[in-house]
Structure 1
Amino acid sequence: MLQAIGLTSAPRHGLPAAVHDLTFEARPGHVTALLGAPGSGKTSALRLMLELDPGRGVTYFRGRPLHRIPHPAREVGVLLGDVPGHPARTVRGQLRMLCAAAGVPASRADELLEAVGLAGLRDQRVGTLSLGMDRLLALASALLGDPHTLILDDPAEGLSVREECRLHGLLQSHATQGGTVLYATADPKEAAWVADHVVTIDDGRLVADQSVDDFSRTRLRPRVAIRTPHAARLAAVLAREARAARRSVEVVTEASGRLSVYGSTCAEIGDAAFRHGLPVHQLADEVADDGPARPTEPAEPADTGEEETESRPAAQASGPELLPPIRRRSARGPLHPLRYELRRLFGVRTTTLVMAAVLVASVGLSLLLARSGHAQLPKVLAGWPSLLPLPPAAVGAGLIGALSFGDEFRYPALAAGRGTVPRRLGLLLAKLVVSAGVALVLAVIVVLASAEAIHLVYGDDLIKVPPNSAFLGAGWAGLTVGCAWAGLLAAGVFRVATAGVAAVLAVPVLVVPFVQHVLAGSASRPVAGLPGRLRELVWPRWPYETDRWVAAVVRVVAHPVGTALSLSLSALICAYLFTSLRSRVRW
C-alpha cells in the first residue's frame, strides 16, 4: 500500500506551493489514477513521494518511507519523463546495464523486452526510438527489479492505440498480482477506463477521492456523437422533438458538421433523422468529460469503510506543520558497480573509437620520430614529440576517464527520476579500476604497435631494450593511468566531460611549469638517498632488491610530470570528497 500524507512542496521564488496538504492512498491490487489538468501539481506530487524535491509530508511504501528501503528498485518502479541513457547504446544494452544497477540477472532484460513488445527492437539504438517506444523502454526499466509499487507519470504519452492497450494490460496485470499502481494522467476517460480508483487534484489540492464507479457517475456523462452534412437542420429537429416530448435534451453544435447530443440515445436520434430524410454519416455512443471536479464532491469513495473515513480527516487535520520535512534523497549506486561500469563503458562505440584513433596517431608519430633519428627510443615508442604536451595515449586515457562520469551526467544511466549520478565509494572504485585497466591496455597496445610498425618499416636496428626498461614502463603506466584518473575525477567534480579533458591538459601546460619553477628555486632540496632513509624506518628490513623498486617509484614521482600529476590527483580527490560531503550536508 502507498500512503501519501500531507504532501506540501516548498515554495520557489515567491510562488505558491505546487502541492498543498495532499493526502490519499493507493491500495495493493488496484490501479489508482492521479487525475489533474496540466499544471495541477501531479508531477510535483510524484516527485515529493520519491523524495526528489524538498517539502513537507511523508509517503509510506508498505509502511516504510523510501529512504528506509534498502533496495528501492525492488520496491518502487518509477517512470518520470523519458528514459535516461546514451543515445548510441542499444535497447538491450541499456536494460542489461540497469540490471547490474538493480542487482538482478541480465536475463531479466530479455524477459521485459518481450513483455513490453520491444523484443524486435533489442538491437535498436536508444536515440532512434520514437516517443512511444521510448515510453515502453522506460516502463521496462521501471519493472526491472520486479517492484511491488509502480509510480508512473503519464505513461501513455505518445503511444499508439495498440501500444496503449498493451500498457494498460501490463498495469492491470501488475495490480492483479497484488502490486500497487499509481499513475498520473490528464485524461478523465482514460482514468475511467483503466483505473479502479481515481484521485482528482486541482491546483495542488485534493478535490475528490473516488472509486471508478462514483467517478464515472459524477464526472463523466454519456452522449451521442453525430456527423451529418445537415447538422443545423438535425439540431433543430432534435430540439423541437425534445420540447414536444418534454424531455431534457442538450444539443451542442461542433465544427465540421458534428453534433454532440446529451440526454438521448442512438435509436431515438436515428429514427428522427430517418423521419425527416436527413442523412447521417456517424452515430455513436461516447463518454464526455463534464469539466473539472468540484471541491464540494465527497472526498472519500462510496465503499470506504468506517475506519478509513475516520483516519483520513485525522491525517489532514495534523497539517503540514506537524509533518516531517521531505529532503532530497541521495541516489543509490549500482548494486554491482563493477559489472555496471563495464557494461556502461563498452555499451557504446566511443571507447573503441577513441582507442583506435589513439593507436593510429601514436603509430604515425612513432614512424615520423624514428625517421628523424633525433628522438630517444622511449619517446619514439610512445609517439611523444617534444611539441606535444602529452602523448596521444595519455590524452586518450584522460578522455575515456572523463567520459566515465561526464556521459552519466549528460545521459543519466541510472534509474529514471532517481536524482543525479551517485557519488558512492563502490561506484567510484569501480570507475577507477575500469579506467585504469583500459589505460594500461591502451598503453601496452600503443608500445607494441609502434615497435612492430618501426620493425616493419625500418628493420631491427632501432629497437633495443634499454637497461632501465622497468623504470620506463612504470613511468609510462603511471602517466596513462594518472591521466585517466585525472579526467575521471575532474568530470565527477564539475559534472561535465569537458572539465575532465581540461584537467588532463592542465597538467603539462600549467602544473608542470609550476613544479619545475618550484624545484629550480633556492628552497628546493634533492631527494637523493630517500630509498636508503626509508629502509631505516622499516622493521623488519626489506631485501636490498626492493631498493631498486623504491628508487624507481621515487624517480617517477620526482619527475616534474610525475610530481605535477600526483599534485593534480591529490587536489581532485580532495575536491571530489569535499563536494560529496557538501552535498550530503546540504540535503
Structure 2
Amino acid sequence: MIEAIGLTSNPRKELPPAVDDVSFEARAGHVTALLGASGAGKTTALRLMLELQQGRGITFFRGRPLRRIAHPSREVGVLLGDVPGHPARTVRGHLRMLCAAAGVPARRADEVLEVVGLVSLRDERLGSLSRGMDRRFGLACALLADPHTLVLDGPADGLTTRERRWLHGALRAHAAQGGTVLLTTADPKEAARTADRVVTLERGTLVADQDAADFARTRLRPRVAVRTPHASRLAALLTKDARAAHRSVEVIRENGNRISVYGSTCAAVGEIAFRHGILVHQLADEIGDMGPDTGSPELLADDAPEAAYRNGGAAGDRRRRADTAPMEGEEQVGAGELVAASEASQAALGGQAGDSAHDESPEGSQGGVDGSSSKTAGARSSASRLDALPDLPPPISVRPAPSPLRPLRYELRRAVGVGTGFVTAAVVLVVSALMAVMLARIGHTPHARLLVAWPRELPLPPAALGAGLLGAIAFGDEFRHPALAADRGTVPRRLGLLAAKLLVASATALALAVLTLGCDIEVLYLVYGRELAEVPTDWLSLSASWIGLVVGCAWAGVLAAGLFRSTTAGLAAVVTVPIVVVPLVQKVLEGPSVRTAAGFPLRLRELLLSQWPFGGERYLAAVARVIGQPVGGALTLSLTALLCAYLFTILRSRVR
C-alpha cells in the first residue's frame, strides 16, 4: 500500500509549484491510475514519492518511507522514462548485472525475460530496442527483484493497441497476486479500462479521487466522430432531425471537417447523411473526455496520436477508426471489443477487483459496426492471446543476506558486459609495443623505460594512462548510464561498491601491466634481438614500482570519477598527478630540511624489538623507497586526498 501525504514541490522562481499539497492512497491488490494532461504534475508527484526531487511531504510504502527501506528495489519496482543502461549492453547481460546488485539469483533474468516475451531478443543491444520492446524491458527490470509495489510513469506511451492490452494484463496479474500498482497516464479511456481507482491531477493539484466506475460515469461520454467535407450542413441536419424527433442530441463542430455527435449512433448519423446525399469520409464510435481541464468534449489535448487525428493527420486516423477495414498486420478493434478484451483479461488473470469499473463504463454500452458479433469475436481472440501469455515470475522465497561478494559480482558483470575495456586494453598494448620499437630505434632511452615504453617527454606511459581510463570508466558509466539509479536517483555512494570497483580496477591494472611488459619484451626481441629484451638485474624493485604506478593510476581514476561524476574528470585527475603534483613534490623533496630514509630497516627492527619473518623489513623498505620517489609520493598524496573527499561525500549524504 502507498500513502502519499502532502506532496509539494519547491517553487520554481515566480511560477507556482508543479505539485501542491497532493495526498492519495494506492491500495494493495488494486491498480491506481494517476491521470492528468501534460504538465499536470504526474511525473513530479512520482519523483517526490521516490525522493528523487526535493520538496515537502512524505510517502509510506507499506508503512515505511523509502529512505528507511534497506533494499528499495525489493520493495518498489520503478520505471521512469526510458530504461537506463549502457546502449551497448545486451538485454540479458543488463538484467544479470542488476540481479547481482539486488542480490537475487542470476537465473531470475531468464525468468522475467520469458514473462515479458523478450527471450528471443536477450542478446540484442539496449540501443537497438524499439519503443514497445523498451517498455517490456522496463517492466522486466521493475519485476526483477520481486517487488511488492510497481511505480510506472507512462508505461503505455507509444505502444500499439495490442501491446497496451498485454501490458495492462500483466499489471492486473501483479495486482491480483496482492501487489500494488501505481501508473500515470494522460488518456482517460485507458485509466477507466485499466485502473480500479483514478486520481486526477490538474495544474499540480488534486481535483478528483474516484473509483473507476464513478470516474467513467462522470468523466466519459460516448459520441460519434464524423469527418465530411460538408460538416456545417450535416451538423444543421442532425440538429434539425433531433428537434423534430424530440431527442437530446448535441452536435459540436470541431477543427476542419470534423464534428462530434453526442446522444446518437453511427447508424442514425449515417442514415441522415445518406438520405441527404452527404459524402462521409469517416464514421466511428468514440469515448470523449469531459474533464475539467479540457473545456470541450474532446480528448485530452496532449494525447499526440489523437491530436494528430483532430488536425487531419493520418496517424490518428489509423489509431482511432473502428468501422473501417483494418491495416495490414493489425486486427480491427472497436469500442465493444476493447471492453470485451478487458473483461477477458480479468477473467484469465483472476483479477476481480476492477470488474465493476469496466461493467459500468459507458464504453461498454457501445458496439462496433457488427454489434454483438464483433464483441464476441473480440472476447474470444483476446482470451486466446492472454491464455498464451506466461504467468508472472515466481516469487523469491529466500532473501539472501547481505554479502560482500554482491557488489563484486555486480562490478565484474558490469566490466565484462561492454567491450570498452577490452578495446582499451588492446589499443594500449598496440601503442605500447610500437612506442617501444620507436624508442629503441631512436636510442638514448634507459632500458627500464624502454621496456615499458615510457619516453621522458610523456608524463605517463600508455599502460598507466589506459589503467587510469579504465578506472575512470568504472564510475563514469554509472553516472552516464545509471543502471543503479532507477529507484534512488543517483549512484549509491557505498563503501562496498567503492571497494569492489577498486578491487576490480586493481586486477585489471595488474593484468594490463604484466601484458604490456611481456608484449614489449617480445616485440623488442623479434625486432632487435636478445640484447634489448634482457631482464634488468634489479627487476624486483622495478616491477614493484611499475605495478604501483599502474594500479595507483587506476585507483586515481576510480576515485576522481566517483567524486566528480564524470569519466573525463577521472582521466584528468590521473594526468594531473605527473603534470602538477610531481613538480610540487620535487620542490618539497629538494628542500634543505629533507632527510633520507637511510637505516629505516634497522630503526624499524629496533622499534618492534623482533626480527621480521621472511625478511619483511626489506619489503617495507622497498615500499618506502617507492613512495619516496617524486611520482610515487605525488600519486600517494593524490590518492589520499581523493579518498578523503569521497568518504566526506558519503558522510554528508548519510547526514542528510
- When the two structures are superposed, what TM-score results if normalisation uses the length of structure 1? 0.89
* 2:637 equivalent to 1:557: no
Aligned pair in 2 of structure 1 residues 443, 59: CA closer, same or farther (>3 Å)?
same
**1:101–1:333 Cα contact (<8 Å) kept:** no
Task: Report matched runs for 1:395-410 at 5 Å.
Answer: 395-410=465-480
Residue 540 of structure 1 and its aligned partner are, at CA, apart by 3.7
SS of residue paired to 1:336 = helix
Residue 377 of structure 1 and its aligned partner are, at CA, apart by 2.5
Aligned pair in 2 of structure 1 residues 47, 334: CA closer, same or farther (>3 Å)?
farther
- Corresponding residue for 2:6? 6
Residue 185 of structure 1 and its aligned partner are, at CA, apart by 1.1
- Matches of 1:335 and 1:10, distance apart in 2: 40
Task: Report matched runs for 1:506-517 at 5 Å.
Answer: 506-517=576-587
* 2:235 equivalent to 1:165: no
Residue 544 of structure 1 and its aligned partner are, at CA, apart by 6.6
Q: Read off the aligned partner of 2:176 and give its amino acid letter.
A: T
Task: Report matched runs for 1:136-535 at 5 Å.
Answer: 136-255=136-255, 257-292=257-292, 336-535=406-605
The range that moved more, 251-260 or 283-292, is: 251-260
Residue 412 of structure 1 and its aligned partner are, at CA, apart by 1.0
Q: Read off the aligned partner of 1:428 and give its amino acid letter.
A: L
The range that moved more, 199-208 or 284-293, is: 284-293
Residue 279 of structure 1 and its aligned partner are, at CA, apart by 4.8
**1:59–1:65 Cα contact (<8 Å) kept:** yes
Residue 60 of structure 1 and its aligned partner are, at CA, apart by 1.7
- Matches of 2:415 and 2:638, distance apart in 1: 24
- Matches of 1:64 and 1:384, distance apart in 2: 57
Q: Read off the aligned partner of 1:579 and give its amino acid letter.
A: T
Q: Read off the aligned partner of 1:60 and give its amino acid letter.
A: F
Match of 2:612 among 526, 533, 542: 542
Query: When the two structures are aligned, how many residues end up with a matched partner?
Result: 552
- Matches of 2:74 and 2:281, distance apart in 1: 52
Q: What do residues 19-60 of structure 1 show as CA deviations (whole Å, max 9, x unaligned)?
A: 222221111221110011111111111112112223332222
CA RMSD of aligned residues (A): 2.3
Residue 221 of structure 1 and its aligned partner are, at CA, apart by 0.5
The range that moved more, 437-446 or 140-149, is: 140-149
- Matches of 1:269 and 1:152, distance apart in 2: 40
**1:266–1:283 Cα contact (<8 Å) kept:** yes
Aligned pair in 2 of structure 1 residues 139, 539: CA closer, same or farther (>3 Å)?
farther
Aligned pair in 2 of structure 1 residues 543, 214: CA closer, same or farther (>3 Å)?
closer
Residue 235 of structure 1 and its aligned partner are, at CA, apart by 2.1
Task: Report matched runs for 1:80-99 at 5 Å.
Answer: 80-99=80-99
- Matches of 2:130 and 2:137, distance apart in 1: 10
- Matches of 1:519 and 1:89, distance apart in 2: 48
Residue 577 of structure 1 and its aligned partner are, at CA, apart by 1.6
- Matches of 2:580 and 2:253, distance apart in 1: 75
SS of residue paired to 1:221 = strand
**2:556–2:639 Cα contact (<8 Å) kept:** yes
Q: Read off the aligned partner of 1:89 and give its amino acid letter.
A: R
Q: What do residues 60-85 of structure 1 show as CA deviations (whole Å, max 9, x unaligned)?
A: 21222222222211111111121111
- Matches of 1:527 and 1:188, distance apart in 2: 78
Uncovered stretches (5+) of structure 1, i.e. residues with no partner? 295-300, 305-331
SS of residue paired to 1:444 = helix
SS of residue paired to 1:201 = strand
Q: What do residues 206-264 of structure 1 show as CA deviations (whole Å, max 9, x unaligned)?
A: 21111111101100101112334543333222111111122221112334543311011
- Matches of 2:115 and 2:499, distance apart in 1: 35
Aligned pair in 2 of structure 1 residues 15, 538: CA closer, same or farther (>3 Å)?
farther
- Corresponding residue for 1:132? 132
* 2:612 equivalent to 1:571: no
- Matches of 2:510 and 2:475, distance apart in 1: 19
The range that moved more, 91-100 or 397-406, is: 91-100
Aligned pair in 2 of structure 1 residues 229, 293: CA closer, same or farther (>3 Å)?
closer
SS of residue paired to 2:19 = coil
- Corresponding residue for 1:20? 20
**1:141–1:415 Cα contact (<8 Å) kept:** no
Q: Read off the aligned partner of 2:249 and give its amino acid letter.
A: V
Q: Read off the aligned partner of 1:567 and give its amino acid letter.
A: L
Q: What do residues 523-558 of structure 1 show as CA deviations (whole Å, max 9, x unaligned)?
A: 111111112211112254314722322221111111
- Corresponding residue for 2:62? 62
- Matches of 2:403 and 2:10, distance apart in 1: 27
SS of residue paired to 2:87 = coil
Residue 421 of structure 1 and its aligned partner are, at CA, apart by 1.0
**2:72–2:487 Cα contact (<8 Å) kept:** no
- Matches of 1:62 and 1:335, distance apart in 2: 29
SS of residue paired to 2:56 = strand
Among all aligned residue pairs of Structure 1 and Structure 2, give the percentage whose two residues are the same amino acid.
Answer: 65
- Matches of 1:543 and 1:276, distance apart in 2: 109
Residue 572 of structure 1 and its aligned partner are, at CA, apart by 1.0
Residue 334 of structure 1 and its aligned partner are, at CA, apart by 10
- Matches of 1:197 and 1:334, distance apart in 2: 43
Aligned pair in 2 of structure 1 residues 136, 279: CA closer, same or farther (>3 Å)?
same
Residue 107 of structure 1 and its aligned partner are, at CA, apart by 2.0
- When the two structures are superposed, what TM-score results if normalisation uses the length of structure 2? 0.80
Task: Report matched runs for 1:39-78 at 5 Å.
Answer: 39-78=39-78
**2:225–2:283 Cα contact (<8 Å) kept:** yes
The range that moved more, 158-167 or 39-48, is: 158-167
SS of residue paired to 1:198 = strand
**2:80–2:153 Cα contact (<8 Å) kept:** yes
SS of residue paired to 2:5 = strand
- Matches of 1:10 and 1:230, distance apart in 2: 51
The range that moved more, 532-541 or 169-178, is: 532-541
Aligned pair in 2 of structure 1 residues 13, 278: CA closer, same or farther (>3 Å)?
closer
- Corresponding residue for 2:35? 35
- Matches of 1:548 and 1:208, distance apart in 2: 77
Q: Read off the aligned partner of 1:116 and give its amino acid letter.
A: V
- Matches of 1:579 and 1:65, distance apart in 2: 23
Residue 373 of structure 1 and its aligned partner are, at CA, apart by 4.5
Q: Read off the aligned partner of 1:413 and give its amino acid letter.
A: A
- Matches of 1:58 and 1:478, distance apart in 2: 49
**2:35–2:184 Cα contact (<8 Å) kept:** yes
